[in-house]
Structure formats: C-alpha cells, structure tokens
Amino acid sequence: MARNSGRYDIRDGNYVEDNEFVEIQLDDNVVNYQKSAGQPFKSIYNGTDILETTEGGLALYEGEGKRPLLTNFLRGVANYDPAVSNMNKTENQATSDQTTVKQNKMGTLVGVYLPTIQNIFGVLLFLRLTWIVGSAGVLQAFLVVALSCCTTLLTAISMSAIATNGKVPAGGSYFMISRSLGPEFGGAVGILFYLATTFAASMYILGAIEILLTYMAPMLSLFGEIRPSADGGISQEMFNNMRVYGTILLLVLSLIVFIGVQYVNKFASFFLACVIVSIISIYIGVIVANPDIGPKICLIGDKLLMSGNYSCSPNSTFLTDIYNTSELALLREIPGIPGIASGIFTENALSKYMYKGDAIPNVKAVGNQVAADITTSFTVLIAIFFPSVTGIMAGSNRSGDLEDAQNSIPKGTIAAILTTSLVYLTCVLLMGATIEGPLLRDKFGASLGGSLVLGELCWPHPWVMLIGSFLSTVGAGLQSLTGAPRLLQAIANDSIIPILDFFKVTSKRGEPIRALILTFLIAEIGILIASLDSVAPIITIFFLMCYSFVNLACTLQSLLKAPSWRPRFRYFHWIASLIGLGLCITMMIITGWYYALGALAIACIIYKYIEYSGARKEWGDGLRGLAMQTARRSLLRLEDGPPHTKNWRPQLLVLVKLDKHSENPLHRRILSLASQLKKGKGLTIAASVIEGDTASNASQAEIAKKNLKICMGEEKIKGFTDVIISRDVSQGLCDLIQSCGMGGLKPNTVVLNWPEDWSSKRSWQLLVQVIRTALAKKMAVLIPKNINLFPQRSDRLNGSIDIWWIVHDGGLLMLLPFLFKQHRVWRNCRLRIFTVAQMKDNSIKLEQDMKKLVYDLRIDAYVEVVEMTDNDISAYTYERTLRMEQRNEVISQMKLSRKEEDKAKSVFDPFRSISKGNEAASDSNQEAASDSNQASQDTIGRFTVKAAEDDNATASTSKSDDIEKDNHEATEARTSRFQVKIIEPGNEEDRSLQHKQSKSKFSFNAISEGKLESLSVATHHSNRPSFGTDNTHYRKFRGGKPFESNLRRMDAAVKLNRVILEKSADAEVVFINLPVLPSSSSEDKNYLEFISVLTDKLSRVVMVAGGGAEVITFLS
C-alpha cells in the first residue's frame, strides 16, 4: 500500500488536456506512475523515460572517458597476463589472446617444490658429501653445509619478498632483480644467472657420466680401462669418455626440453621419485648398518689402500713387494661402515685437510695407497659444495608456467630449502657417525673396488643408490636446461641487450628454441672441461653474484619503503637481507677471489653496455661539489619523462587556508592529514595565497610562511612552504598549481579542504576552478571533508577504512588508504573495499575479479560488491532537483551581490539539512539564520523579505541547516511565509514573490505583469516539501521539469549516499572517487550540491580524483 501519495498538476496543452493529471504513488521511495488521462508522465521528456535509469545509479561518474567505471576496468584486467600485455588491445585481440595464453598452469607442488628439491638434490649429495665430511671433519663439514644453507635460505626469503611484490612473469630471478634495481643491474645479473644455470646443467651431466662410468658400467669406456692417474686424479681416458658421453646425454636432454616443458615435468616426477627412494635408503642403511656384513677396507696405519687382487695380509706377495716389514706390521683390515654404535663420531669430528697426492695429512701416498686428487681446505670445500644448494631458483625460473607465481614461489622454495637443508645436515652427522674416516676421504671408492661409498651404506643394495643418484643428476640437468633458455628469452624480450634480440623468437608451442640452441652450445663448453671439481667453483661464483643482488634489491626496497613495495610475504626484514648479502660476498671471496673478479668483470661489461646510451658522469671539487653535482644530475634525469608506476609516490601540494589575519593556518588538521601520508616518501609543499598587493603584503607573507613552516615541523612533515600574494585568491591558487616545484620534483597531487560555506558563490567557484586546473595539469586531487574531525598524530584508530571504488583513476584510490595504514594513527584499522554493480554486471563474477585484483595488488582488504537494483527516481529526488534549479534561477534573476546571494540561499532553500557532527555551518549562514529568527523583516539587495501576515502560518524562518539530534529523528520543519518585494529605483511597478513552506502545504505565488499564476501541490509527506508546477509559469523555469542530467546526477548522489551510509556509517574514514566535473561552467553551481548530497551524514570523507596516470601496479 502506498505510504505517501501526491497529485502533480502538469497542465500543458501539447501533451494533456486541461484538468487531466498523472497520479504518482510513493511506495518505499520508489515512483510508480500511472496515467489517469492524457499522455504518460514520461512523455513530458519527449519519450525519454527519466523516471528510470539503467546506469546503476552512477550518473555522477559519467561523461569522462579517461576514468572508466571500475566494472569496465575489471573486465580488461581479469585475465591480464604480465608476460603478454593486453591492456591496450581491442576486445577481439584480447579474446583471441585469452585462448592462447591459457595453458596448463602448475601449482606450488609440481611447479616449484619438486623442481627445486630435484635441483638441490643433485650430483654432489651422492658423489662428494662423504668426501667433504671426511676431509673437513664433522664439525667443519656441518659448518660448510650450514653456511651454504643459511645463505640460500636468506636469499630465498629476500626472493620471496620480491616475488610477492607483484606478478612475476617468465624470467623469474632476472625479472625480479631488473624491476627492483633497474635494467642495467638486472641485465648484468640476469646474464650471470643464465651462465650459472647453463653451467649447472653441465655439472649435473658430468656427474651423471661419472656415476655411469665409474660405478655402474666401467666397461662402457671408449678409450680403454678407466683407472686413477699417478697422482690420484682422474685419468685422461676418463676425461675423454666424459666429453663424449656428456655430449650425447646433453643432446638427449635438449631434445626432451625441445619437445615441451610438459614432458619435462613427466620425466621429472619419475626422476624425483628415484631420488626420494635413494635418500630413504640412506637413512635405513644407517639404522641397519652392521660391521659384520658391511664392506672391509685395508689400511697400513691410517693410510687407506686401494682394493685389488690381493688379500689384506702381511703374507700377500703384492703387498710385500711394495712395503717393508715395519709397514706391513701396521697392516689391518677393518669394517668400512662400523655403524653408529662404534663410536667413530669423535674420530671423524676434526678436519683432515691434505695436499694433492697425500695419503694422510702431510704424508705423500706411495704404492697402492689412496691419494688426494686435489688440495683441500675449508674454502675449497665450500666452493665445491655450494652448487649443491643452488637450485633454489628452479621454481622462479619457471614463473611464467605457474598458476600463481607470487603464492607458489615463496611457499615452494622455502619448503624445499628447509627439506633439503634438513637432509644435508642430518646426512653429515650420520655419515660421520657411521663410516670410517679414511673411507670417507676415498672420493672415487678406490678402496672398495670402484664402488660408490654412499652406495655401500644404502639398504638393501648399492644399486638403489646408483640408480637413484644417476637419475637424480639427469633430472637436475634437465631442470637446468628447462630454466636457462626461458631466462635468456626473458632478457631478450626486454630488449635491453640488442644483440640478444635474435633469441626472442619462440615456437608455436611457446618454446624458446633459439635460446635452447645457445644454451646447448654454452653447456657443451662445460662438458668439454670434463672436470666436476673445476666446473663447480665457476657455478658457485655466478650463483653467489646473483644471490647477492637479490639480497641487495630486497634491502634497498625495504629501506626506501616506496609505495609500490607491498610484498605479500611478511616474514622478512632488511637486516636479514643484509646478512644474506654479507654471506654471499664472504663466500665469493672464500671460494676464489680470481673467480669473483672474473664474474665481476663480466657483470661490469654488461652493465656498461646496457648503460652505454646514458649520460656521462661529471665530477666537481670536494664533497659539497659532488653532492651538488649528484643532485643536479638526478633532477635532470628525473625530468627525462614521467616516473614509472612503481616509482610513483604522492608529491603533495597542500593548499592551506589562512585565518582572518592571514598569519596562521585556519585548519591545521589538513597538515596532520598530509603527515599521515608521509609513508609515501614523497615531496610535500604547503602553500597559501594572501589576497592583496605584493608591495604592501610582503612582510605579512613572510610571517605566514614562517608560521606555516613551524606548523609543518610540529606535524613532523619534511617539506617546503610557500606563500604568494595575488589580487585574486582563485587565480593565485591556480598559479601555485602550475608553477610550484622544480623539474621532476613537481607536485603531482593537490590537497585542499572542502569549504564549510560551499554554497557561497565565492567558495564553489574557487573550488571548481582549482579542481579543473589540477586535472588539466594531470595532477591528482584530494578533498577531505569535515577536516576538523580528522585524527591528530597522537590519536589511534581501530575501526575500518572504507574505499568506495566507483571508477578506475589509476589506482590512487587504493594507494592512499594503503599509505594511511602505514601510519600509526591508522595502523590498526582494516581496509574494506566496496564497488557498485551495474545492471549488466554479474555480481558474483565481479566480486571474484575484484578479489583477484586486490590480491594481485598485494593489499589485504575485505571486498564486497553492492548491488543497486533500484532504478526508479523517487519523488524526493525529483522535487529536490527541481527546487535546486528554481532556487538558482530565482537568485540569478534577482542579480544579487555575492554576500546577498549567500543570504538569499539561506532563505530560499528548505532542503539544506546538515547532520550533527558532519559539516559545520558557516558563519554567514548562522548569522543569516539568527537574523531571520529574530527579525520579521530583512533586506536582500533590492528585495525586502518580510514575514507575511497570515493567520494560517507561523512567522518563523525556514531553517534549512537545523542540526539533527538523532539519525532516527526527522529534521524538524518550521512553517514560514515570506513576501519578497522587488525595489527598483525609478520603477513604480512592484513585483512580489511569496514563498510558503509548511508541514502540509507549500505554495508559490508569482505576480508578473498583473497576472497571478498559482502553483500548488498537496501532500501528506510531513518531512519533505513537495512541489507542484503550473506549466504556463514553468516554461520560464525550464518547462516545469528539471534538466534530465541534473535529475540523474541527483538520483545517483541520493542512492549512493544511502548505500554508503548503510555500509560505512561506522567507518573511521571513507574514500570515494570525486564525481566527474560538469562539462559546462554554467553547471558548476550544482556540482557541489551533488557532492554534498553524496557525502551527507558521513563524518570523515576523502574524495579522490586521479591525475590520469597509473600509480599502482600488480607487477613486481
């Protein structure tokens, strides 16, 4: 049943007959119109149904193509792939790309964890770890492994922070470093990392061939019998075999990679299963180790003898021919693997470093004694072992194939490092407690007849270890050959090294064929070296160089605290990254300073090659000259072009209004607001304008500037101040916007307060002109409303920061609340993001897209989509819009001065209702209201306004700015009758205008040329003044109807305000897009009316308009 009803008299001979009308039924603020006689009500609008809107109540944000509605923007980025940018593509192109970009993406387990484990559990675990434990002793071997694992773990934590600071497409570590430290560093480190990954493939392949020919099938030798050289090293025959078989295996693995990464994953799963079985067999072997059934070794004293066709007895003819009687007296045969219960852990605890050719420390090997093939030391062992933990970026190198790289990379990588570190450290302890020291130092198993030492420990048979270790090394090599070409292609795609452009091309399946061919050729160089121990230090240096820059990038980003630095991974600190950087540099020096210098030289050459087109360095005299020159060069470089999205930060120009003496800021809270944005680490300039003549007000400007600087210091704002003098304040503010700043340090964001007396002509003209100037200069605009209610620096808030994201403005609306949360005032608040669904939108899909976008932006926030299904315009909206236009029309015809116009508005506007605590009434309005309450007559220009002598009306002024005592109580309406008499000198003809408002009836009488025209409406709505129109009169007042554009905008403001109050009434602050400026300056006076309705009854509001540039990104 209708709650309220009214009868609109709309006589117009063009559409309806006399005495015919359209009846409007008001039900829950929805207008349902029905025709009683004549044409429908909407026919007045020439067939346009203005009573319904299909724009989802967002008419306030129409008319500006630069700021698309958020729902339209989300459609363009929902399926965005950073590796194939489709932001500027047409709809057809984007659709076709979606079919090609969608692939079988991998998750954390298959895409990161398993490949990383497989890369780490490579050849050195099975071939060199026992030898490292025997040479360094358990304690130092544990330290070698722990240092290596700590280095990679700290690097992985830094990498996780960088990887979760945006989407990471193909290129992995290169992409992260280049986007963090710039293309020069990124290119240099990327090439080093590519070389390291490529040589790692060579190392794994050489390890696989060593296992095959030394332990599994020595009979496959193509160049005779494989035996150690005279000094205990690898023979020339072994080198040649490794070159031939290594080339063959490299070719086979390259063909598998050529076929496709999906086949690599299939092989990798099988290889990894074998590795896991092998590792499990080690632990079981430790448990079941029995000296009675294990292998035996022969020693003379502590010198280990090679196995052969002889018995370990003093009576052996073979031994008596080599050793004398005293030496044979020390001959003994002992179990090589006595087990944990034997107590040999203490004997293996200390180091036994030897020179090349030594049987025991400082004693040269003779006869058939097992000799050291290289000189060992702590640093040498670190250099050899470190590559066994360097597979940590196997997952990041395949970031382009991951479904969610920024989620999978940190979880999978860190989990893999912790798993492998645990295995390595426990293996060191168990090997030292189970195997005899001399056997541990037997690198090639010469004392066991060429068997793998670790294989003899395995249960149930050594072949479990041999097969597992062989497949493990092959799988690790396969992973390296998969990642290296993709890394090279990512570098080539950036076009920072022109000679690599040739390698951009991929096959139809997306495989980097050309990069794979180059990788094959470089890996072949490592195969031709044919020495595992010679290739390992090269790989170590390259990886350490890359890891150093990863830690450096994380350290710098954390210390600079740029707004774009918002990693989802929170468990990091710049101190940990700095420690990781120090460990990497230390280990580079330990490994070999000559290797480090060589890698550094390569990096410098690449860096300079990329920077070749840059500016030349200029040096002055002394430190001050150097500082000045650096600042000058930086300013000149900043002016080369706009900053990248990741480097964008709010450079604030705060327009401060001074008090009546023009000496101190009138609203200091606006400086507090600026200080709470200081986490943006941008420039802040507080400026103001003094109206008057420059010569007579110069000293006053200096005083104001000094006071402004003091206020900035008290608010802990580091920035600059400026106060200029202008004959017109509005022009002075526009001049400040255009001229403030220098070079690349010009402000990009204007902050100004919402004027308390916004309805005055001076205020709305100034505000609109400042907004127009700022947007024309491509600057963002921040307008806080009710600035005196904003918190001070000492306050601590715990509620919510609500973001009403209506249009996409470059992301500024998202960035500012994030910066607010970095300040201790807002740190405990939670972010909530609301957006409005249009009629054509799928709300569920829209909410999913919003959550995905917010996730990609690394912002933790609650997301909700609000549906505005009410497309009807209420009678209240219609009446208020019409009343606004009529008021402006009447006042404009009265031709009042500015002060008189402000006074007239307080008389003629019954809708002006301001809620308690939301907006302070201006002094002029308060005075006007006070005067109208106390006096029965007032004068506005040539008009005399007096209370009409009517027994049916009470002569009290309509007070539109009455403060509501409670949100649930209706605003108290006061009855009034005013008679306005026009006083024109020399003109005896009087015109009068009578205006009456009451709870039940509102009448408007106009006397024009002696003819009375009456317009009236009867209504039962006690809280809203209704308005009826006589069409003969209202042809002068826009044909008796409001402009359609004004009506739609008012409707949008009313409905948005209703849903915002419903969702955000208890929010600490509300951020919302600033409505679009009207296209015509004649509509400016209505613009602030719409904003006032939009933000009515909200305590703290910040309206935001972007400057046209993207300020937030989901890329790393």
pLDDT tens, 700-711? Answer: 889 988 989 898
- Residues of the chain above pLDDT 90, percent: 17
Question: Which DSSP category does 962 fall into?
Answer: P
Provide the pLDDT for residue 1041. 63
CA distance 371 to 231: 7
- Both tokens assigned to 720: 């600059």
Q: Is the dihedral of CA 132, 135, 140, 142 positive or negative?
A: positive
Residue 97 pLDDT > 80, yes or no? no
Provide the pLDDT for residue 140. 95
Report how far apart, in Å, the C-alpha atoms of 1112 and of each of 781, 861, 1029 are: 16, 16, 51
Per the model's pLDDT, the better-predicted residue between 594 and 1014 turns out to be 594
pTM: 0.64
Average pLDDT over residues 297-307: 91
The residue type at 163: A
Tell me the sheet residues that pair with 35.
22
- Residues of the chain above pLDDT 70, percent: 72
- Both tokens assigned to 489: 């292609």
- Both tokens assigned to 590: 């330990």
Provide the pLDDT for residue 908. 52
Provide the pLDDT for residue 781. 92
1041: alpha, beta or left? (left if phi > 0; alpha if psi -120 to 50): beta
Residue 1111: which pLDDT band, with cuts at 50, 70 and 90? confident
Q: Residues 862-898: pLDDT tens digits?
A: 999 888 766 777 777 888 888 787 777 776 666 566 5
Instruction: Give the range among 891-895, 994-998, 1090-1094 with minimum mean pLDDT.
Output: 994-998
Average pLDDT, the chain: 74
Contact (CB, 8 A) for 58 and 71:
no
- H-type alpha helices, 715-787: 729-739, 761-776
Strand residues in 684-789 grouped as ranges (E): 684-691, 720-726, 749-752, 780-785
The answer to whether the peptide bond before residue 460 is cis (omega within 30 degrees of 0) is: yes
CA distance 1082 to 575: 59
Q: Residues 478-525: pLDDT tens digits?
A: 878 888 888 888 888 888 888 888 888 888 877 889 999 999 999 999
Query: Which residue has tokens 């860190």?
Result: 414
Provide the pLDDT for residue 562. 74
Provide the pLDDT for residue 517. 93
- Both tokens assigned to 889: 């029309």
Provide the pLDDT for residue 991. 37
Residue 1038: which pLDDT band, with cuts at 50, 70 and 90? very low
Residue 573 pLDDT > 60, yes or no? yes
Provide the pLDDT for residue 608. 82
Tell me the sheet residues that pair with 297.
334
Residue 247 pLDDT > 90, yes or no? yes
Q: Tally DSSP H helices, then E strands, for the chain.
A: 34, 24
Report how far apart, in Å, the C-alpha atoms of 995 and of each of 990, 1013, 1033 are: 16, 13, 15
Per the model's pLDDT, the better-predicted residue between 674 and 624 turns out to be 674
Burial track 405-437 (b if 16+ CB lie within 10 A, e otherwise): bbbbbbbbbbbbbeebbebbeebbbbbbbbbbb
Provide the pLDDT for residue 1061. 92
- Both tokens assigned to 661: 């003496």
Residue 571 pLDDT > 80, yes or no? yes
Provide the pLDDT for residue 182. 73
C-alpha angle with apex 296: 291 to 299, nearest 5 degrees?
120
φ/ψ of residue 140, rounded to 5: -70, -30
Per the model's pLDDT, the better-predicted residue between 927 and 718 turns out to be 718
Contact (CB, 8 A) for 740 and 687:
yes
The answer to whether the peptide bond before residue 335 is cis (omega within 30 degrees of 0) is: no
Q: Is the dihedral of CA 656, 662, 664, 667 positive or negative?
A: negative
Helix, strand, coil percentages for the chain (3-state, nearest 5): 50, 15, 35
- The helix-helix angle for 1084-1094 and 761-776 (nearest 10°) equals 90
Helix (H) or strand (E) holding 940: strand 937-940
Burial track 208-246 (b if 16+ CB lie within 10 A, e otherwise): bbbbbbbbbeeeebeeeebebeeebbbbebbeebbbebb
Task: Return the number of other C-beta atoms located less than 10 Å from residue 27's C-beta.
Answer: 14
| Cβ-based neighbours of 353, under 8 Å, separated by 6 or more | 135, 136, 361, 376, 377, 378
Burial track 912-946 (b if 16+ CB lie within 10 A, e otherwise): bbbbeebbbbbebbeebbeebeeeeebebbebebb
The two beta strands, 1069-1073 and 1101-1105, are parallel
3 state DSSP class of 1005: strand
C-alpha distance across the termini of the chain, in Å: 58
The residue type at 700: Q
CA distance 209 to 217: 10
- Dmax (CA) of the chain: 149
Provide the pLDDT for residue 428. 95
CB-count exposure of residue 162 (10 Å: 0-12, 13-18, 19+): buried
- Both tokens assigned to 915: 């809620």
Per the model's pLDDT, the better-predicted residue between 830 and 876 turns out to be 830
Per the model's pLDDT, the better-predicted residue between 185 and 505 turns out to be 505
Residue 715 pLDDT > 60, yes or no? yes
Provide the pLDDT for residue 641. 63
Per the model's pLDDT, the better-predicted residue between 943 and 1061 turns out to be 1061
Q: Residues 25-75: pLDDT tens digits?
A: 333 333 333 333 333 333 333 333 334 444 445 777 766 555 666 666 666
Q: Residues 376-403: pLDDT tens digits?
A: 999 889 988 888 888 787 777 666 677 7
Instruction: Give the range among 161-175, 206-220, 428-442, 917-931 with minimum mean pLDDT.
Output: 917-931
